[in-house]
Amino acid sequence: MSSINFMRIKTDYSPIKSLMNFFFCNQVLLYCFLFPQVYKVLVSVGRSEWFVFRRYAEFDKLYNTLKKQFPAMALKIPAKRIFGDNFDPDFIKQRRAGLNEFIQNLVRYPELYNHPDVRAFLQMDSPKHQSDPSEDEDERSTQKLHSTSQNINLGPSGNPHAKPTDFDFLKVIGKGSFGKVLLAKRKLDGKFYAVKVLQKKVVLNRKEQKHIMAERNVLLKNVKHPFLVGLHYSFQTTEKLYFVLDFVNGGELFFHLQRERSFPEHRARFYAAEIASALGYLHSIKIVYRYILIYLMYFLQKCLFIYFSEYSVLLFFFFQFNRDLKPENILLDSVGHVVLTDFGLCKEGIAISDTTTTFCGTPEYLAPEVIRKQPYDNTVDWWCLGAVLYEMLYGLPPFYCRDVAEMYDNILHKPLSLRPGVSLTAWSILEELLEKNRQNRLGAKEDFLEIQNHPFFESLSWTDLVQKRIPPPFNPNVAGPDDIRNFDAAFTEETVPYSVCVSSDYSIVNASVLEADDAFVGFSYAPPSEDLFL
């Protein structure tokens, strides 16, 4: 009966071939997450190689069986985690290391690896894993790549996983210094998605991996809210990160605002209510969106994450690009409902009474406490809501000035100017949202509940709003799910880069394989149910 040696994980992810030179027998390698608590094991017996996908519960079941029969071996696996974040990189590393140790013990001792349950766990007696000279040439090529490439590929064709070639990339619809956003059609079912493709090298060089992981984590929590963009899944190659998102093609809210200069009050109320509903939901799961509008974040990035200590650099960037800047993160869907996008600057884990001090965002919408680098909380989002509502009603942000330094001074010191043409309740909510003292701002005590109960929204049913039973006041009239008329021609006329469309199998690193870089451990995500085609 064949023996098995265990090949441990290399944290630097060096080529498998160089590791295999140390072994002359058969091998087992546990090396990745497929889904939360699902791992992929590479088994090599003679000339045959195959993958086995096992959930943590299956490891636990095998462990409990073996520890009773072999108590002297002191087998152990990482304990179950009932509370906490299963996507935490430290947790991922610790659990992976613990399961590696368990597998190593299984293949070290003949009495263990010859145990029927272990052989079944590793599918060692399955006929399909015997060497077959008639096996498909593509599969043999795939197996060869496992031994020669720097990055591990997706495995046998019987277990396909997300990869760039799953899509037809049709048009560029957004662009930034990290990468591009593309309209893509999934070949499997013809569905359209917005696929956000980021360059790992650029992200790492700018030390933005925390923001990328924050965006991914927020997206995972938001999939089912009606006014937040949904993440269907994410994956990565050796060079790129991919977010597969809802394609929202009604255009930016402010694209329509710029054409119409201002909105009637009933229309502004509708949009403000949907935005507030989304923000209230984010707050309920302890996330501060921080700034509803973040100019050029990821899509058209000019400056990304500039600390307050670099105030002069911040002013320079915003002064240089102020005329070209426009809000990117409030979109309309195909029938006119609001969709908030881009969560790279969201702050996770913020409760109503908590504060944070990170300085970044859109100059016109920065709250006074952010400019002063004072602690801020959920009320920073309500300030932003006030700024957005003001601009929808009046056509310009509340303290706008072409001189950015003067605009900051206006935000800090100038009284709010409210012109005629709107109702008294609109005046009231603007004054309360744009209160310079965050402790007196609307939402400071009971958060979203205070917004809901303000007289400005008295005519609106929040239940009907969330269930989308209120007809939007404006319909973008898109022609179909792939209509891109509401996207800037400067993007859509660009040629789709070949590099985002095609990846050799060996360069794919997704939710089913070992993370290509510790900086992005836990990035890959596969859906639990409806999108489980991977």
Q: Are strands 26-33 and 330-332 parallel, antiparallel or unpaired?
A: unpaired
Res 369 pLDDT > 80? yes
Please give the Cα distance from 446 to 329 (Å, whole number). 26
Span between the terminal Cα atoms of the chain, in Å: 34
Percent of the chain scored above 70 by pLDDT? 60
Please list the active-site residues. 324
The whole-angstrom separation of Cα 16 and Cα 375 is 48
User: 447: how many CB neighbours lie within 10 A of its CB?
Assistant: 21
Does residue 347 have a known ligand-binding role?
no
Number of C-beta neighbours around residue 131 at 10 A: 10
Q: Which amino acid is at 471?
A: P
Other Cβ atoms closer than 10 A to 298 = 30
**370 pLDDT tier (thresholds 50, 70, 90):** confident
Query: Is-above-0.75 flag for pTM?
Result: no
Give the tens place of pLDDT for each residue, 401-423: 888 889 999 999 999 999 899 99
As beta bridge partners, residue 54 has: 39
3-class DSSP state for residue 192?
strand
Nearest Cα to Cα of residue 54 among 116, 140, 121: 121
The answer to whether residue 306 scores a pLDDT higher than 80 is no
- One-letter amino acid for residue 395 of the chain: G
The two tokens of residue 257 are 């605002």
Helix (H, G, I), strand (E, B) or coil at 516: coil
Q: Regarding beta strands 26-33 and 4-6, do their DSSP bridges make them parallel or antiparallel, or are they unpaired?
A: parallel
Q: Is the pLDDT of residue 371 over 60?
A: yes
| Torsion of the alpha carbons at 139, 143, 149 and 154, rounded to the nearest 10 | 70
User: b/e map of 311-328 (b: 16 or more CB within 10 Å)?
Assistant: eeebbebbeeebeebebb
Give the containing element (helix H, strand E) for 93.
helix 89-108
Q: What is the pLDDT of residue 254?
A: 84
pLDDT band at 60 (very low <50, low <70, confident <90, very high): confident
Which helix (H) or strand (E) segment is 319 a member of? helix 311-321
pLDDT higher than 90, residue 475: yes
| Contact call for residues 153 and 506 (beta carbons, < 8 A) | yes
- Name every residue whose Cβ is closer than 8 Å to that of residue 509 and which is 6 or more positions away in sequence: 151, 152, 235, 236, 237, 238, 515, 516, 524
Its sign, for the CA torsion 364, 290, 431, 467, is: positive
pLDDT in tens, 445-460: 999 999 999 999 999 9
CB atoms under 10 Å from CB of 369, counted, come to 22
Q: Which two tokens stand for residue 281?
A: 């939901």
- Record the tokens describing residue 486, joined without a space: 């509401």
Report whether 416 contacts 325 (CB < 8 A).
no
Q: What is the pLDDT of residue 237?
A: 81
pLDDT mean across residues, the chain = 70
Q: What is the DSSP letter of 512?
A: T
For the ranges 16-20, 67-71, 140-144, 205-209, which has the lowest average pLDDT? Answer: 16-20
Q: How confident is the model at residue 145 (pLDDT cuts 50, 70, 90)?
A: very low
- Most confident by average pLDDT, 323-337, 422-436, 478-492: 422-436
Nearest partner of 411 among 394, 434, 392, judged by Cα: 434
Which of these ranges, 194-203, 309-318, 321-330, 439-448, has the smallest mean pLDDT? 309-318
- How does strand 167-175 pair with strand 48-55? unpaired
Average of pLDDT values for 347-376? 62
Provide the 8-state DSSP code for 417: P
Phi-psi region of 421 (alpha: psi -120 to 50; beta: other; left: phi over 0): left
Non-local CB neighbours of 439 within 8 Å, separated by 6+ positions: none
